[in-house]
């Protein structure tokens, strides 16, 4: 069986086509989903890609969160379907309360584009099984609203439940609390992170490394063996 992974396009989404390409390279079928779609075309997993949906006006992700497609995604995510939010997608997941916390303007106040080192803190999610816990990877990061924030209780809970999935290494590019780059929900099927694995799947392109490919192979393996 070939896994079918949906990629949502909101108005203003930018990395949808790259994400589709990354999914194909990893060996699954990428299924485009439109923000007005009310059903998910029977996909097995969904990626909310990066970009500036609705221009990031109001707050990043604040308007997209109300799109018709999000209703279906919230429902199926709560039922266990793997969902990955990258950058703007992560912001949408927070706004939609599928993940706790919120994203704020970078402390440096600038857009930051860099090759970012991360530590994969856990392989116990749908999207990180092909990494080893503690593994260091380097993938592009590019955002202006990437400062992950939550109250202390939530942060402690995330830590104790092993739901901090990625942490910035060497440099915290945006002032995220506890160097958090990505988190998951309690069940581990919903993951959000600021850096961009889909830009690190081909040796020649971008940073020239393929450290992001395992996101997609992880979920594909899980879906195919399920």
Partner 1 sequence: MSLDTVKHAAGTPESAQPWKELGLKEDEYARIREILGRRPTGAELAMYSVMWSEHCSYKSSKVHLKQFGEKAPQTDALLVGIGENAGVVDVGQGYAVTFKIESHNHPSYIEPYQGAATGVGGIVRDILAMGARPVAVMDPLRFGAADHPDTKRVLPGVVAGVGGYGNCLGLPNIGGEVVFDPCYQGNPLVNALCVGVMKHEDIHLAQASGTGNKVILYGARTGGDGIGGVSVLASETFDSTGPSRRPAVQVGDPFQEKLLIECTLEIFREQLVAGIQDLGGAGLSCATSELASAGSGGMRVELDTVPLRDATLSPEEILMSESQERMCAIVEPGKVDRFLEICEKWDVIATVIGEVTEGSRLEIFWHGEQIVDVPPRSVAHEGPTYHRPYARPDWQDTLQADDAGRLARPANAEELRAQVLALVGSPNQASKSWVTDQYDRFVQGNTVLAQPEDSGVVRIDADTNLGVALATDGNGRYAKLDPYTGAQLALAEAYRNVAATGAKPLAVSDCLNFGSPEDPAVMWQFAEATRGLADGCLALGTPVTGGNVSLYNQTGDQAIHPTPVVAVLGVIDDVNRRTPMAFSEQGQLILLLGDTREEFGGSAWSQVVHDHLGGLPPAVDLEREKLLAEILISGSRDGMIDAAHDLSDGGLIQAVTESCLRGGNGARLVVPDGLDAFTFLFSESAGRAIVAVPRSEELRFTDMCGARGLPVSRIGVIDGDAVEVQGEFAIPLAELGAAHEATIPGLLV
Partner 2 sequence: MARVVVDVMLKPEILDPQGQAVQRALPRLGFAGISDVRQGKRFELEVEGPVDDAALARIREMAETFLANTVIEDFDVKVES
Letters for 78-97 (x = contact with partner 2 by CB under 8 A, - = none) are ----------------xx--
Catalytic residue among 35, 121, 198, 199: 198
Q: Which residue among 94, 121, 196, 199 is the active-site one?
A: 196
- Determine the interface stretch with partner 2 among 43-51, 148-156, 178-186, 191-199 (rule: CB under 8 A): 148-156
19-58: contacts with partner 2 (CB under 8 A):
54-55, 57-58
| 95, interface contact from partner 2, partner 1, none, CB < 5-8 Å by kind | partner 2
CB distance 48 to 88 below 8 Å: yes
- By C-beta, is 149 or 210 nearer to partner 2? 149
Shortest separation between residue 26's beta carbon and partner 1, angstroms? 14
Active site residue 196: yes
Annotated catalytic residue, options 35, 87, 121, 199: 87
DSSP assignment of the chain: ---EEEEEE-TTB-SHHHHHHHHHHHTSEEEEEETT-SS-TT-SEEEE--B-GGGG-SSTTTTGGGSHHHHHHHHHHHTT--EEEETHHHHHHHHTTSSSSEEE--TT-S-EEEEEEEEE--S-STTTTTSPTT-EEEEEEEESS-EEE--HHHHHHHHHTT-EEEEE-S--SS--GGGEEEEE-TTSSEEEESS-GGGSSSSSSTTS--TTHHHHHHHHHHHHH-
Q: How far is the CB of 130 from partner 1 (least distance, A)?
A: 20
Check if 94 is active-site: no
Residues that bind partner 1 in the complex, under the rule CB under 8 A: 11-12, 14-15, 17-18, 21-22, 50-52, 54-57, 110-114, 140, 142, 144, 196, 198-199, 202, 204-207
Give me the active site residues, please: 87, 196, 198
């Amino acid at each position: 069986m070939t896994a079918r992974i949906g990629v949502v396009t909101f108005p203003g989404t930018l990395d949808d086509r790259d994400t589709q390409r990354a999914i194909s390279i990893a060996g699954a079928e990428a299924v485009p989903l439109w923000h007005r779609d009310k059903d998910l075309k029977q996909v097995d997993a969904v990626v909310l890609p990066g970009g500036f949906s609705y221009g990031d006006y109001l707050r990043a992700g604040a308007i997209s969160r109300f799109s018709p497609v999000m209703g279906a995604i919230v429902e199926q995510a709560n039922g266990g379907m793997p969902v990955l939010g990258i950058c703007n997608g992560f912001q949408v997941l927070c706004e939609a309360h599928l993940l706790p916390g919120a994203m704020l303007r970078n402390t440096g106040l600038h857009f930051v584009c860099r090759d970012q080192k991360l530590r994969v803190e856990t392989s116990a999610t749908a999207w990180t099984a092909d990494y080893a816990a503690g593994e260091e990877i380097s993938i592009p990061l590019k955002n202006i609203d990437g400062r992950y924030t939550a109250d202390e209780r939530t942060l402690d809970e995330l830590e104790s439940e092993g739901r901090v999935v990625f942490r910035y290494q060497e440099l915290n590019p945006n002032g995220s609390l506890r160097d958090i780059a990505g988190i998951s929900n309690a069940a581990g099927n919903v993951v959000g992170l600021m850096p961009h694995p889909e830009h690190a799947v081909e040796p020649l392109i971008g940073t020239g490394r393929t450290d992001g490919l395992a996101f997609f192979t992880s979920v594909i393996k899980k879906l195919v063996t399920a």
